[in-house]
Structure 1
Amino acid sequence: MTSPLRRRALVLGAVCSSVVPIAARARDADVPYVPTPPEVVEGMLDMAGLKPGERLIDLGSGDGRIPMAAVRRGASALGVEIDSDLVARARAKARFAGLEGRVHFVRDDLFTVSLRDADVVTLYLLPDINERLKPKLLSEMKPGARVVSHAFDMGDWPPEQHREVSEKHVYLWTIPAIAGGEWRLVRGDGTTATLAIAQRYSRVSGMLDGRAIRDARLAGAALSFAADGVAYRGAVGDRTIIGDTWRAERID
């Protein structure tokens, strides 16, 4: 049986073994600190659709301005930064702003900190760092979580949105569920069919009993497509897709 992590790597087009070891620390050698302008900070959070109660993790958090802006919107936030002086500066700014206890900053490696509880991850890194982080984002973050990057994209992973905020580029991606593979689909009337889905990131196509499906779309865990004049909508889990009048189970 293929593990969920391996399956995610295969169908999303990412190579999880490309995540760099802890020795390759982004801020120390690769990414100079350049502050994100305040209007771009707010634009990034707007694009992410950050909601009160959600969890934001900022990778390469610098002086802490993005996590502090997030908690002002009612979210919880963690800033991850390898430069100890910047971590100390961010903590001091949080105390001065009365945000101590609501926002946290840690000195840690971008490539080893857990992203599993993040609803939003923000980045202002460099193209090669984004590429090296991409497998981690895809394998650890839950379907429907969002990634927002200031200035740089993710290579062959196309963004869902791209805006200019104060003449700066901002990109948004939503983490897709793992829909790729073969499924045994059971309709409400008990009839069955084989659903085969090809996936690369959020792009999906496929066949239902050998006939091409149409209008296939994957947004986070929400899958929709049409076949034989019938519209199908469902939520993708690891082993099942649950629709309103149908369900499917993964075939290994």
Structure 2
Amino acid sequence: MADVLVAQGVGVDYPTPAGAVTAIDDVTVTVPDEGITVFAGPSGSGKSTLLRVLALVERPTRGVVELGGEAVSGRSHRQLRALRRQTIALMFQNPLENLLPELTAAQNVIAAAQSNGRRGAGRKADLDLLDVVGLKGMGDYRVPALSGGQQQRLALCCALAREPKVVLADEPTSQLDDTSAGLVLDSLKVLVDRGVPVAVASHDDRLVHLADRVVRMSSGRVA
């Protein structure tokens, strides 16, 4: 087993009128290239900040992020955008932030497959992924017509279509009822079964129990 993502001695500070506030400090974690890793902890523990840093969305104030064994956190914003597009699928807490609401479910999958320049994107195999995440027969539904749980499963389907090296998800079940959350958990397992490693920031005990690895956060540090 290798590591697809590594954060070494990472810290993030935010300026405020009262002075700098440290969100995470001296955090060293790894995300293996298989299974589910959960960053667990209460609100304000720094787990979502850590996930954004690993997703190359937020640049650390100090420390280094490695992707595939190569230090990347010091690269330009343009280079980081290209890396995200080609290798990382990031799911936000609000399902609608993950999708293009004006499009149908099938069109979202096709757009995701095309977003990293894949040859042959939008082929039947991509649309068959809707069946894989339990959305069979819903390809013509527009995003607002889907429930929150269906939207999150569609987001996971789009992540699969992009063929990323890793999927990062921030509190993917926090806005869902128990039934919908359970279906999202099943879809996360589908990603892992297909060889896509997953890292999740969550305080949901069900995700913690599902995880292959749990990293507990407290007050911006690994507990």
Name whichever structure is richer in helix by fraction.
2
Larger radius of gyration: 1
Give the TM-score, by structure 1 length. Answer: 0.28
Give the TM-score, by structure 2 length. Answer: 0.31
